[in-house]
Amino acid sequence: MTGGWSRRVVWFIVVCTAIAMFIPTRTSIAADEPKTVLILQSFNQNSKPWSEYSKALRQELERRSPWPVIIEEVSVITARADEQNAETQFVGYLHALFDHRPPDLIVTFGALGGAFVQRHRSELFPAIPMILTTIEARRVQSLTLTENDTVVAVRQKIPVLFGNILQLLPNTKTIAVVDWQL
């Protein structure tokens, strides 16, 4: 097993464990009723690696859940439009999508999804358990987290990354890093 693959396996086990702890918390729903999971993607649903994480999560939930599972996957990229109230409209869209019954669990993938739900947590089904995943630890706003929230953060180790690049490509003279602030 390579290092990256084993880290993904560990990450996936942690997320599945967290999900197993959260889904049964909604006792007002009969045991045979489906559980609904809202996945908020940072980018579109075909962007890798997020689409791969989502696919693995879907498969694992379907395999392990004692209940039928309905998975709604939405990209928060539409909430980042230039229009000033795009995020407010997107929150309204999510409420309309779940007008019949709120989701049983919210899972975010990536920094944009994590930042969006942290900005709108009080409006986004505040009593529903939420898991923020694949978000850089320094981007987590701990003050906005509630007792219903779990974070599976990643930590970028830039010196290690550079060391790996230089080990594989020792003649490298320039490394450019592109990052954005939310």
Output the DSSP codes for 115-133: HHHHHTTTTS-TTS-EEEE
Nearest residue to 97 via CA among 73, 118, 79: 73
Overall pTM surpassing 0.85 (yes/no): no
Residue matched to tokens 């539409």 = 78
Q: Which pLDDT score, from 0 to 100, does residue 181 have?
A: 47
The per-residue pLDDT for range 43-98, each reduced to its tens digit, is 777 777 767 777 888 888 888 778 888 888 888 876 565 666 888 889 999 999 99
Measure Cα distances from 41 to 17, 20, 109 in Å.
Answer: 20, 20, 5
Q: What is the mean pLDDT of residues 13-36?
A: 60
Only one residue has tokens 């739900």, namely 117
Per-residue pLDDT at 2 exceeds 50: no
As a whole number of angstroms, the longest Cα–Cα distance in the chain is: 62
Average pLDDT for residues 147-157, to the nearest whole number? Answer: 72
| Residue burial 12-42, b: 16+ Cβ < 10 Å; e: rest | beebbebbeebbeebeeeeeeeebbbbbbbb
Task: Give the pLDDT score at 6.
Answer: 45
Q: Is 113 helix (H, G, I), strand (E, B) or coil?
A: helix
pLDDT of residue 182: 43
Distance CA 50, CA 73 (A): 12
Which CATH number fits the domain 3-168, given the four candidates 3.40.50.720, 3.40.50.2300, 2.40.50.460, 3.90.1150.10? 3.40.50.2300
Output 86 or 145, whichever has higher pLDDT. 86
Calculate the average pLDDT of the chain: 75
Confidence label for 22 from pLDDT (cuts 50, 70 and 90): low
